[in-house]
Amino acid sequence: MNKKLVVLTVLAGTCFAYCPRAGAQAGGTSQSAGNAQPGIDQDIELLRKDIRSGRKQLVAANLKLTDDQATKFWPVYDQYSAEQTKIGDQKTALIKQYAEQWNTGTMSDEQASSLIKRSLAVDEQVAQLRVKYMPIFSTAVPGKVVATFFQLDRRIQALIDIQLASQIPLVQAQE
């Protein structure tokens, strides 16, 4: 599992190292984060797809499923992943907005508070998604498999979050 986690971490690092620059490039011009260059947004989306693919491969490699369990598990996983992606879209938008405000030096106390509140709301959505899907996964596979899946899911997300956090400058460093 360690080699595969390293690969995912590198993928995540590439994506998240690039995400702040995407917003910074948009902020460096008169464009807003929502109007960032289409090529940058496409690159970010491709990197996010790579991360989702790597994530699924890690789960597949580390979750011991019988053929019958796999038939039931993967459709639920795909639904879970699609909902997780929507939450990830919000996180990406927040990163772009932060990068734009950081790069232009225009972040006020109110904007900083708004960004952190929205970031915490995204964290809550992730937790709520896990709570929602726990019983759904439990109808598809046994409890130990569900527990193992959520352990893997949290570990992978923790690695991505650590990489992301290491790429985003602290708000006060702007002053």
Torsion, Cα of 155, 161, 162, 168 (10° steps): 180
Count Cα neighbours of 110 within 13 Å in the Cβ-side half-sphere. Answer: 0
Residue 32's pLDDT is: 41
pLDDT tens by residue, the chain, 175 residues: 444 444 444 444 444 444 443 333 333 333 344 444 566 566 666 666 667 778 889 999 999 999 999 999 999 999 999 999 999 889 888 888 888 887 788 788 898 899 999 999 999 999 999 999 999 999 999 999 999 999 999 998 888 888 878 777 777 765 5
- Residue 171, pLDDT score: 78
pLDDT for the residue numbered 45: 65
pLDDT at 119: 92
Q: Which domain holds residue 169?
A: 2-174
Q: How many domains does the chain have?
A: 1
